[in-house]
Amino acid sequence: MGLDEKVDRGEAVVGVIGLGYVGLPLAQSFAANKIRTFGFDIDPSKVEKLNRGETYLKTVPAEKVQEIRKLGTFDATTDFARLAECDAIIICVPTPLTKTMDPDLSFVINSVRSVAKTLRKGQLVVLESTTYPGTTDEVAKPILEETGLACGKDFFLAFSPEREDPGNRNFHTTIIPKLVGGVDEVSGRLAQKLYSKAIRKIVPVSSAKVAEAAKILENVYRSVNIALVNELKVVFDRMGIDVWEVIAAASTKPFGFQPFLPGPGLGGHCIPIDPFYLAWKAREYGCNTRFIELAGEINTAMPHYVVSKLTEALNSRGKAVKGSKVLVLGIAYKKDIDDLRESPALEIIELLGAMGAVVLYNDPYIPSTPKTRRHDLGLKSQELTPQLLRSVDCVLITTDHSVYDWEMICSNTSLIVDTRNATKGIASAKDKVWKA
Tell me which residues are annotated as active site: 270
Report helix, strand or coil for 167.
coil
Nearest-angstrom CA–CA distance, 26 and 98: 27
Task: With residue 211 as reference, give the H or E element that holds it.
Answer: helix 208-239
Rounded CA-CA distance 53/70 in Å is 9
Report the Cα 163 to chain-centroid distance in Å: 10
Strand arrangement of the beta sheet that strand 156-159 belongs to: 74-77, 37-40, 14-17, 88-91, 124-127, 156-159, 178-182, 202-204
Of 40, 94, 32, 96, which is closest to residue 65 (Cα–Cα)?
A: 32
Give all strands (DSSP E) within 119-191, no chain letters: 124-127, 156-159, 178-182
d(CA 28, CA 71): 11
Q: How far apart are alpha carbons 380 and 414 in whole angstroms?
A: 23
Q: How many CB atoms lie within 10 A of CB 286?
A: 6
Q: Which amino acid is at 331?
A: I
User: Coil, helix or strand for 119?
Assistant: coil
Distance CA 182, CA 169 (A): 30
3-state secondary structure of 283: helix
Total Cβ atoms within 10 A of residue 92? 26
Q: Which residues share a beta bridge with 74? A: 37
**What is the distance between the alpha carbons of residues 288 and 318, in angstroms, rounded to a whole number?**
46
Yes or no: say if 19 and 76 are a contact pair by the CB < 8 Å rule: yes
Across-strand partners of 178? 202
What's the rounded Cα separation, in Å, for the pair 372 and 347? Answer: 12
Q: CA-CA distances (angstroms) from residue 264 to 54, 140, 243, 302, 433? A: 33, 36, 14, 6, 15
